[in-house]
Structure 1
Amino acid sequence: MNLSGPFIKRPVATMLLSLAIMLLGGVSFGLLPVSPLPQMDFPVIVVQASLPGASPEVMASTVATPLERSFGAIAGVNTMSSRSSQGSTRVILQFDLDRDINGAAREVQAAINASRNLLPSGMRSMPTYKKVNPSQAPIMVLSLTSDVLEKGQLYDLASTILSQSLSQVQGVGEVQIGGSSLPAVRIELEPQSLNQYGVALDDVRNTIANANVRRPKGSVEDDQRLWQVQANDQLEKAKDYESLIIHYNNGAALRLKDVAKVSDGVEDRYNSGFFNDDAAVLLVINRQAGANIIETVNEIKAQLPALQAVLPASVKLNLAMDRSPVIKATLHEAEMTLLIAVALVILVVFLFLGNFRASLIPTLAVPVSLVGTFAVMYLYGFSLNNLSLMALILATGLVVDDAIVVLENISRHIDEGVPPMKAAYLGAKEVGFTLLSMNVSLVAVFLSILFMGGIIESLFREFSITLAAAIVVSLVVSLTLTPMLCARWLKPHTPGRENRLQRWSRRTNDWMVGKYATSLDWVLRHKRLTLLSLFVTIGVNVALYVVVPKTFMPQQDTGQLIGFVRGDDGLSFSVMQPKMETFRRAVLKDEAVESVAGFIGGNNGTNNAFMLVRLKPIKERNLSAQKVIERLRKEMPKVPGAQLMLMADQDLQFGGGREQTTSQYSYILQSGDLGALREWYPKVVTALRALPELTAIDAREGRGAQQVTLIVDRDQAKRLGVDMDMVTAVLNNAYSQRQISTIYDSLNQYQVVMEVNPKYAQDPITLKQVQVITADGARIPLSTIAHYENSLEDDRVSHEGQFASESISFDMAEGVTVEQGTAAIERAIAKVGLPEDVIVKVAGTADAFAATQKSQPFMILGALVAVYLVLGVLYESYIHPLTILSTLPSAGVGALLSIYALGGEFSLISLLGLFLLIGVVKKNAILMIDLALQLERHQGMAPLESIRSACLQRLRPILMTTLAAILGALPLLLSRAEGAEMRQPLGLTIIGGLIFSQVLTLYTTPVVYLYLDKLRHRFNKWRGVRTDAALETPL
């Protein structure tokens, strides 16, 4: 059956079909979103709970533990971790990748409701949750600065005006605000004055709460009119509160200003942000899932002038971070690489055929196939990203293969004197099954990725389907458009009318065939030696795979660095601020740095800070992001009590089910015995710090947070009529920035915050000045019923899967791979000799690397099995697929040897290159074997004669297709611009594998074919089955 026949007869229909493919693809291209990497949805839900004033241990035991028990009953929870700090608990739940996030959210809310009765009664509100996708980095950060307004006022503008407006922009998801908190009326009480006038803290709290209310008051009306009833029950500013009467002393009014300092401040004074040298409030903008980053950022930028106009004149709205320039540059570079690849492939065709008109035919197949692929991408909801564009770049060399095979076969018939129309029919029919075998088996390789599950399936789904779609469209084009054009564009062969290039092409081809025939004959006389080389190649594959350095993913240069400043446990906010300033100034003065933004305090704790470093474009700095980090580490001043950890921001983040780590890799120690964890954790940290393979280690250095424990004499307290609830209420009023009332505004709500004057919270001895009310109304100092003790405790308590845990974050030292670093860590931990109740777990990138390392051999095996099954079905043979698969070991050696020789690392991108090699290299064997079977079947040739003839006839298309694939991948290897670190490993793997396999398989394939043919005959003879070639008709 000739599938191409109807299309050769109907040129108009064929052209219109191709045009329809182009139109569908062109329209779809304009609708595709743009992103750095495919959308990866890690189903993560973050639950936040607060209890102002509670210690980390209290938060862990009374809030985190009840929530974790409820969450533990939810199906599909992959990891669950929590972190409790002063007054705050954060629980992170990561679900299985196939879990519906909306269904999980409903179950999380139900679990929160179920734990209501187990949570402390003093919580102002129930825990809240939000759905997040930690794999997606923010697309933009804006900063608000002013020389006139306070930070609280800037935060209010960001919350009430900017955040609302930005959230309405198409494509914008969550807008987070940091660097300060909402304005508030702060009441800082003087304990000595309160004691002098006999006023209790609760008296002040109740007076303020009762003086500031906002309740419905109804209306009055007569027969004609209606009046709304209002009252001056809302106090809005600090001056309104100063004159409140809280007590009468001998008939004289005692006002709030007599016992407290009342000011307009912020809700949380332990929170500060910056942009370069200015104090700032930051707006961190995230995109919605599937939104086009470039369009979203452009829309935000278009709104900025209007937003600036509604802000006070003294406020400056600055662009602190923008991911779009790097993404634009990366995608532009990928598009240029695609164009270069197309040009190189066309050049190959032109040089081999020496005919400009003939070279146009496969040239047309390339745009039709690639543009048609955009329609499939749109249909599947894909985006234009680094991986999908890499698939299209590689597809350039693959889609032209089919057209080359058809064109070369038809050209060969024309050169033999067959008229072009008849040659088109005959040539297309001869290679129809060959094309089907090559493409179906190639598609099987990439579609096998979809069955691998986990991170690899999610990450490479778009790559594999995009490439498979391009291959299928190419197959359609090569069986329709290509033979039709050959029938009408190629001229009949006229001896003696060749141009100079055609003569050079023909002579070069004759010379190559002659040399190949001589060497092939020698190989066929020494088949055992050739077969031995194949087995040696298999062994070399295994050896190289063991010794080649391995990593998870190439380190990207996104033009962004993330910095974490970790202070010693127990450092106060005022002590931490100057340390952060030292780091900020050191980073900002580096010549590669464009800007620095960040914040300190807030939910991260007073001794933690975050920094976002924006680098200059790579052409201006001439250093990779990693090199900039290494330089900053060397030049960074030593700051006692604090450490700055820098890491290159990555488009793909792992470890979303746990707290943000300060480095690329992390390990977790976990135990049900808190005492054992505290005993062995420092030993592990010491062992890891001694490893030269690691750098930027971030670990807890013991229990360094100072804690004051109030020891209450319960008998004495009972005699005086004081219970523990009264004691804790007094402490809560005095030291926890307690929010005691709400101020309602037309745009927002603000809090009234009460605490003792900060000068009375600087030393534990001031606890003696706090008084508590006894049962008979008397006021006694706390020291009457209690004393305090100082101790060192944790400033945060972490849980992993409901068990106490501690983490260690680190980076690999320069020149050290993940595999080498992981091996060194395992040896060091083994020497420590941990007990059975202390468990070590890898997390984040290290966890992802360990998981893929175990599954990589099975992935490759799965792809090989898929190819074998497909080829076995197509050829109706158990033996011939083995001959085709015998070409693959040489490709593996070439790829691994190239990586090893050039000092590279085997990553997931390299693994992707191996999958591609599995699909490409077997094409050569299919071209040979399919023709050899035809010659045996139709011309009665012996196996030796048929395979030799097939090798010589198919040499030119094999060389053309291989060289096209090599040159299609060459721009990937030579890329030096943005995004090159993702493309280079793929180019190196493919080119190295193709060159080595091209040399070897031209000789090993015919030898393996002959040996397996003998094996087939013996097996059939043993079974008593005929072995005529005519009986082996493929599908």
Structure 2
Amino acid sequence: MNVARFARENARAIVFAVVVITLAGIYSITTLPSGIYPEVEFPRIVAVAHSGDLSPRIMQIAVTRPLEEAAREVLGVRRVRSRTIRGATELSVIFNPDADMPYALQLMQGKVDEVRPDMPAGTQVRVERMTPSFFPMMEFNVTGNLPPADLRDIAMFQIRPLLSRIPGVARAEVSASEEREVSVIVDPHKLNAVKLTLDDVAKALTNTNQVASVGRLPKDYQQYLVLATGELKSLDDVRHAVVAFRNQTPVYVGDIAEVREGVVDRTTLITGNGQPAAVISVARQIRGNIIAIADGVEQTLRENIASLPPAIRIAKVYDLAAFVREAVQSVSEAIIIGGLLAVFVLLAFLRDWRATFVAATTLPLTIVGTFFILHIANGTINLMSMGGLAIAIGLVIDDAIVVVENIHRHLAADETPENAAEHGTNELVGAVVGSTLTTVVVFIPLAWLQGMVGQFFAALSLTLSGAVLLSLFYALLFIPVPAARFLKAQRADGTEHHVDDRQLGWLGRRYEAFIRRAIARPIWVIAVTIVVAAVGGFLYFQLETGFLPEMDEGGYVIDYWTPQGTSLPETDKMVRRIEAVLEKTPEIAGFTRRTGTEMGMFATEQNRGDILVRLKPRNQRDKDAEEIISEQRAKFAEENPGVLIEFVQLLQDMLGDLQGVPEPIEVKIFGDDINTLLGLSSRIANKLKDVPGVVDLVEPRRGRHDHHGRREAAELGDQQPEDEQHRDRQHHEQRPKRLLLRFVLPTDLGRVANRHPLGRENLLHVRDRAPHVAPFETRRHRDHLLQIFAMELRGALDRCDFGSRRQRYHQP
């Protein structure tokens, strides 16, 4: 087939196709989602269950084991791993690499729903598929000279609805130390006098706080809905709720109890820059454009900041979009610089601006057209795809260079432009196609790799292969068209002449002399080649290895563990020393601290948490992230020797959590005796500390139960020391007995409540004032009472969710 003649005869159709591909590429650039990495699909589903304050052993029997057995029945499950702590369990379900994860999520949720009735009352189970979009892309600290409960209300009912409706936002979550509630403090003497129990009070409030439809009424040509409502809208409504009738006289809640505002018992602590704060985390939808969403979030906050109380301050502590924007911009600049250098080199060697222009036109056309290929393949703009495009720069222009140079040579041989374009292109069809396909077949197998690595390199392989194949199309079909029209060979006086190879200049002559000497001494050439290969192989084994390159991400995460059994206030006291060091570090722009919870989906003890640190822009600090981490590691070890601290980069932390392997290296020990496992783990940990390169070592600790499957032995201990169990029993016997009822007040209470007409979830505490009065003096009576009172009725009404109502039951 005469390719050049076909191109000349169909020149208009080819130019039209090039224009269409270019316009489609421009459109794709504006619509393709942007991200730091490809949309990797991890074959992993996580289920987290919470069930009050049940011990780890009871949690394992009543919650963890049913969940494990249900998970093993799901199609495609390869491994089930669970982690059980007091009152919570975390289940990690690993699937086969070829599993359909959206379908697997539905199956998993169905199996969990089947076993949910067999779990303790009130057990809450959340099942999620692990994707990069699950983790927050932005976080904000909401601080101010207000109580923590007020900060949460403002973040929850004023800021969160604004962010939730931004296109591309999947969810906006609010975390805070305190949540407002309504406390009903019952007097046990009055309660005993009217022969009632706390259960009666709870049921009465539950039955009162109802809205029921009693019928429809047509009147005056209109249809009316008749409602019977007993909603508790204020503290007075709670006080006037009827509990029972005695001698035909109503007994009100206010007659036997004190009703007042309060806050939920603290189980977590949230601070921002060392001050009480509410943290808003924004997560995107799958394939959401990170940059566009971030712009929408910041614009929304700017437009609505005036409507918030003047004391409120909103500070950004995590912004993945900024890192994505900077990374993509850096790669884009590298592509532009590489393209310009390629054009200058081409001009220097061809010494013909016409030939350089014709060859260089394929570079921007191919780059823009490659984005259209990405769009068709459901790709995204990320570091891997842009990196593949940067690698392809030299390969893309190479095909055009050889074709243009050959056409230029035929023009110098006194051929007409049409004949030169035809002969010059046809002579190189086989060579150009062969070299291009050789490049393609080298990179295509990268897309066949399994797991996360394969998904990463699939983006690079797709971009590079698409760009090279598109450049082949342009070199053989598009280049002959402008070459036949614009290229000419001329003498200095304007007439055509034949270019002598000797006119290549100094570099050409030196290269020719070098090649002649090399051909005359083949043994020396082979010897030098072997030496270079040997040196390269030696250096290969000396290089450091890792999945991600060393880079300054503009922030990092500090994971910390205080000694097992440490109370929440004591943990807070110890971690504040870490915050004091961070506040004194000039390179830090802000930070968020969580205690008793973590960024992500985990079952977390109260002695554990993380600190998300944001650094100032690189041009505003002299040290990179690794230098700052190294300095702080030494300071923290000196300030808090009893606190276990681990530093991790943001992206490494996210990828590790998505895979379920937060540490780069994990050592697992299997056996039947927990104490033996703990002893072995301590001995192994002591030896690992001496391994060169180890900086953070997370050792197993008592108090958590961590095992694989149903019957495999625990990696870590699940039994508390006897003294700790004794302390827990004493604490359990001495703490006030209470019944918790969570209900909805349609109108908010207190100072801040008037600013939130959307409604709020409130908590009713019913507890005795004196735990040692006569009805509770004996332990038998006390235990019996605790069994009756061990119940929590939860209800929620979120006006933002179109008034949906749900009830959950929880046994502490």
TM-score normalised over the length of structure 2: 0.82
CA apart distance, 1:433: 0.2
Q: How far apart, in 2, do the equivalents of 1:768 and 1:359 lie?
A: 100
User: Which of 522, 544, 555 pairs up with 1:549?
Assistant: 544
CA apart distance, 1:541: 5.7
Residue 46 of structure 1: aligned partner: 46
Q: How far apart, in 2, do the equivalents of 1:673 and 1:768 lie?
A: 46
Q: How far apart, in 1, do the equivalents of 2:699 and 2:239 lie?
A: 47
SS in 2 for 1:693: coil
- Amino acid aligned to 2:148: K
CA apart distance, 1:671: 3.7
After superposition, the C-alpha distances for 1:161-196 in whole angstroms (9 at most, x for unaligned) are 43333222111112222123542223567xxx7489
CA apart distance, 1:222: 9.2
CA apart distance, 1:709: 5.3
CA distance 1:197–1:429, change in 2 (3 Å): closer
Q: How far apart, in 2, do the equivalents of 1:223 and 1:399 lie?
A: 76
Residue 320 of structure 2: aligned partner: 323
Residue 566 of structure 2: aligned partner: 571
Q: How far apart, in 1, do the equivalents of 2:190 and 2:219 lie?
A: 56
Question: Which has more helix, going by share of residues?
Answer: 1
1:383 pairs with 2:380: yes
Which runs of 5 or more structure 1 residues have no equivalent in the other structure?
Answer: 713-727, 761-765, 784-1035
Residue 761 of structure 2: aligned partner: 750
Q: How far apart, in 2, do the equivalents of 1:215 and 1:516 lie?
A: 95
Q: How far apart, in 1, do the equivalents of 2:500 and 2:162 lie?
A: 66
Query: Where do residues 869-1018 of structure 1 align in structure 2 (5 Å cutoff)?
Result: none
Which of 379-388 and 40-49 deviates more? 40-49
Q: How far apart, in 2, do the equivalents of 1:351 and 1:445 lie?
A: 31
CA apart distance, 1:70: 1.6
CA apart distance, 1:451: 1.5
Give the conservation status (yes or no) of the 8 Å contact 2:188–2:768.
no
The structure with more radius of gyration = 1
Residue 25 of structure 2: aligned partner: 25
Q: How far apart, in 2, do the equivalents of 1:311 and 1:782 lie?
A: 49
Residue 71 of structure 1: aligned partner: 71
SS in 1 for 2:724: strand
Give the conservation status (yes or no) of the 8 Å contact 1:137–1:651.
no
CA apart distance, 1:644: 3.4
After superposition, the C-alpha distances for 1:799-848 in whole angstroms (9 at most, x for unaligned) are xxxxxxxxxxxxxxxxxxxxxxxxxxxxxxxxxxxxxxxxxxxxxxxxxx
- Amino acid aligned to 2:724: Q
Residue 708 of structure 1: aligned partner: 725
- Amino acid aligned to 2:340: A
Residue 631 of structure 2: aligned partner: 631
Q: How far apart, in 2, do the equivalents of 1:270 and 1:557 lie?
A: 34
- Amino acid aligned to 2:519: D
SS in 2 for 1:669: coil
Give the conservation status (yes or no) of the 8 Å contact 2:136–2:282.
yes
Give the conservation status (yes or no) of the 8 Å contact 1:557–1:650.
no
Q: How far apart, in 1, do the equivalents of 2:525 and 2:773 lie?
A: 89
Q: How far apart, in 2, do the equivalents of 1:710 and 1:35 lie?
A: 50
SS in 1 for 2:479: helix
Residue 616 of structure 1: aligned partner: 616
Residue 374 of structure 1: aligned partner: 371
Residue 437 of structure 1: aligned partner: 434
CA distance 1:780–1:85, change in 2 (3 Å): closer
SS in 1 for 2:90: strand
Q: How far apart, in 1, do the equivalents of 2:93 and 2:240 lie?
A: 48
CA apart distance, 1:116: 3.6
- Amino acid aligned to 1:610: D
Query: Where do residues 664-813 of structure 1 align in structure 2 (5 Å cutoff)?
Result: 664-702=664-702, 707-708=724-725, 739-745=740-746, 747-748=758-759, 750-754=761-765, 771=777, 779=781
User: Which of 402, 423, 430 pairs up with 2:399?
Assistant: 402
CA distance 1:585–1:736, change in 2 (3 Å): farther
CA apart distance, 1:89: 2.0
Q: How far apart, in 2, do the equivalents of 1:512 and 1:767 lie?
A: 106
SS in 1 for 2:418: helix
- Amino acid aligned to 1:133: T
- Amino acid aligned to 1:105: L
After superposition, the C-alpha distances for 1:904-954 in whole angstroms (9 at most, x for unaligned) are xxxxxxxxxxxxxxxxxxxxxxxxxxxxxxxxxxxxxxxxxxxxxxxxxxx
Q: How far apart, in 2, do the equivalents of 1:265 and 1:146 lie?
A: 20
Give the conservation status (yes or no) of the 8 Å contact 2:404–2:479.
yes
After superposition, the C-alpha distances for 1:196-236 in whole angstroms (9 at most, x for unaligned) are 986899912431331343234554899969894646x4445
- Amino acid aligned to 1:144: V
- Amino acid aligned to 1:385: N
Q: How far apart, in 1, do the equivalents of 2:372 and 2:217 lie?
A: 70
1:203 pairs with 2:197: yes
CA distance 1:115–1:74, change in 2 (3 Å): same
Give the conservation status (yes or no) of the 8 Å contact 1:350–1:356.
yes
CA distance 1:84–1:153, change in 2 (3 Å): farther
Give the conservation status (yes or no) of the 8 Å contact 2:185–2:769.
yes
Which of 507-516 and 30-39 deviates more? 507-516
Q: How far apart, in 2, do the equivalents of 1:749 and 1:378 lie?
A: 44
CA apart distance, 1:596: 1.1
User: Which of 562, 571, 581 pairs up with 1:586?
Assistant: 581
RMSD: 4.1
Q: How far apart, in 2, do the equivalents of 1:405 and 1:201 lie?
A: 99
Query: Where do residues 247-262 of structure 1 align in structure 2 (5 Å cutoff)?
Result: none
- Amino acid aligned to 1:519: R
Residue 805 of structure 1: aligned partner: none
1:141 pairs with 2:158: no
Q: How far apart, in 2, do the equivalents of 1:345 and 1:61 lie?
A: 67
TM-score normalised over the length of structure 1: 0.65
- Amino acid aligned to 1:475: L
- Amino acid aligned to 2:763: V
CA distance 1:88–1:758, change in 2 (3 Å): farther
Which runs of 5 or more structure 2 residues have no equivalent in the other structure?
Answer: 598-602, 704-719, 748-757, 786-812
SS in 2 for 1:752: strand
User: Which of 239, 263, 267 pairs up with 1:266?
Assistant: 263
Q: How far apart, in 2, do the equivalents of 1:767 and 1:577 lie?
A: 35
CA apart distance, 1:245: 8.9
User: Which of 127, 130, 140 pairs up with 1:129?
Assistant: 127
Give the conservation status (yes or no) of the 8 Å contact 1:449–1:457.
yes
CA distance 1:503–1:742, change in 2 (3 Å): same
CA apart distance, 1:352: 0.8
Residue 168 of structure 1: aligned partner: 165
CA apart distance, 1:737: 7.1
Give the conservation status (yes or no) of the 8 Å contact 1:135–1:653.
no
CA apart distance, 1:689: 2.8
How many residues end up aligned between the 2 structures? 748
Q: How far apart, in 2, do the equivalents of 1:30 and 1:45 lie?
A: 33
SS in 2 for 1:604: coil
Q: Percent identity at matched positions?
A: 21
Residue 553 of structure 2: aligned partner: 558
SS in 2 for 1:605: coil
Residue 601 of structure 1: aligned partner: 596
Give the conservation status (yes or no) of the 8 Å contact 1:682–1:701.
no
CA apart distance, 1:667: 3.6
Q: How far apart, in 2, do the equivalents of 1:629 and 1:711 lie?
A: 38
After superposition, the C-alpha distances for 1:491-537 in whole angstroms (9 at most, x for unaligned) are 235487699x99996223540453144224304xx4x6655665666
CA apart distance, 1:80: 2.9
Query: Where do residues 803-842 of structure 1 align in structure 2 (5 Å cutoff)?
Result: none
Query: Where do residues 235-246 of structure 1 align in structure 2 (5 Å cutoff)?
Result: 235=232
After superposition, the C-alpha distances for 1:304-335 in whole angstroms (9 at most, x for unaligned) are 14543554454444333323233222222221
Residue 158 of structure 1: aligned partner: 155
CA apart distance, 1:303: 1.4
- Amino acid aligned to 1:580: V
CA distance 1:219–1:544, change in 2 (3 Å): closer
Give the conservation status (yes or no) of the 8 Å contact 2:82–2:92.
yes
Residue 808 of structure 1: aligned partner: none
Give the conservation status (yes or no) of the 8 Å contact 1:52–1:737.
no
Which of 312-321 and 431-440 deviates more? 312-321
Residue 214 of structure 1: aligned partner: 209
CA apart distance, 1:134: 4.8
Which of 674-683 and 426-435 deviates more? 674-683
Residue 113 of structure 1: aligned partner: 113
- Amino acid aligned to 2:744: I
SS in 1 for 2:544: coil
Residue 360 of structure 1: aligned partner: 357
CA distance 1:26–1:255, change in 2 (3 Å): closer
Give the conservation status (yes or no) of the 8 Å contact 2:448–2:458.
no
Q: How far apart, in 2, do the equivalents of 1:348 and 1:696 lie?
A: 49
Which of 732-741 and 459-468 deviates more? 732-741
